Amino acid sequence: MTTVRKERIGFIGTGIMGSPMACNLLRAGYQVTVYNRTKAKAQQALNAGAVWADSPAKAAQETNVTITCLPDTPDVEAVLLGSGGVLESATEGCLCIDMSTISPAATRRMGETLAKEGVQLLDAPVSGGQKGAIEAKLSIMIGGPAESVERVRPILQTIGRTITHCGPLGSGQMTKLANQVMVIHTIMSIAEGLAFAEKAGLDLETTLAATVAGAAGSHSLKVLGPRIIAGDMKPAFMVDLQLKDLRLVMEYSRQINQPLPGAALAEQLLRTLSAQGRGRDGTQALVDVIRGLGGGRVQV
């Protein structure tokens, strides 16, 4: 039997990640009110028992916790602070948990603005992809005061498996950027490895079975390898969102004077896809850029 929990949650942004996250909250017994720019993308959560709100302000009304899972910094700023935004209806003592991947500096600035109205912001970006969101196995990286993190831990435990308090507000986002540097290298390595195997005339299913079980094995290889072999470029994580993350990484790497040559190369190759109109493909489409460097896909 599902326990009915007392915390009412507003959830804004029911896309690839937000939709399964909202569904997992509902499954855990929370009462969830959802808002998304395109209502159709909230349908799965509505079918699972969520209530629809016509604006972020309405989604946050009469809830004590509001979660956002939006593409980029301007989206979170508009939803939290803009006209019809969360701040218009949030009351003192409310908590906002931003689970998008956005700028750490903008996160801190928004936190200050919200705090003036008695509303607290926590940054809690996630890693683990669409599969992790569906299976409630995300790694959640939180920034904010320890007591607030403890207050929301039971909520986050219903959508993630590993919840790490990374430090003050903004440090969840900074940790996530470090994660994205590592992730893009993994995806690059998969694209190069499989393009190489294909051009060498190897059977890709056999190559994948052998490599996934060895030192090259990873979550990304398990998820993206079969998609590459099937020619399935549907996004679990869009090229344009990965580019957004690398833009944030590069901005900060310049500020702290830490060169990141591998991430810079990956950014250029992803930009190639975006320039070709493939920004909404999944990041596994990088394999096509690598194939192109070798003269295109070989017919085996």
Catalytic annotation, residues = 176
- How many residues bind ligand NAP (CB under 6 A)? The answer is 27
By 3-state DSSP, what share of the chain in percent is helix, strand and coil, each rounded to 5?
A: 55, 15, 35
101 φ, ψ (degrees, to nearest 5): -100, 110
Residue 12 contacts ligand NAP per CB under 6 A? yes
Q: How far apart are CA 154 and CA 50, in angstroms?
A: 19
Q: Which is closer to ligand NAP, CB of 53 or CB of 208?
A: 53
Residue 15 contacts ligand NAP per CB under 6 A? yes
165 φ, ψ (degrees, to nearest 5): -80, 110
Sole window of 9-17, 89-97, 203-211, 290-298 interacting with ligand NAP (rule: CB under 6 A): 9-17
Residue 153 contacts ligand NAP per CB under 6 A? no
- Of the candidates 184, 187, 207, the residue with the CA atom closest to the CA atom of residue 197: 207
Q: How far apart are CA 153 and CA 271, in angstroms?
A: 37
Instruction: Please report, as residue ranges, which positions from 85 to 104 form the binding site for ligand NAP (by CB under 6 A).
Output: 100-101
Instruction: Please report, as residue ranges, which positions from 229 to 268 form the binding site for ligand NAP (by CB under 6 A).
Output: 236-237, 241, 245
Phi-psi region of 203 (alpha: psi -120 to 50; beta: other; left: phi over 0): beta
13 exposure class (CB count in 10 Å sphere: 0-12, 13-18, 19+): buried
Task: Candidates 9, 11, 13, 24: give the one binding ligand NAP (CB under 6 A).
Answer: 13
Q: How far apart are CA 235 and CA 197, in angstroms?
A: 23
Sole window of 69-77, 200-208, 219-227, 287-295 interacting with ligand NAP (rule: CB under 6 A): 69-77
Per-position x/- string for 118-147, each x denoting binding to ligand NAP as judged by CB under 6 A, each - no binding: --------xx-xx-----------------
Q: For binding to ligand NAP (CB under 6 A), which residues are involved?
A: 12-18, 36-38, 41, 69-71, 75, 78-79, 100-101, 126-127, 129-130, 236-237, 241, 245
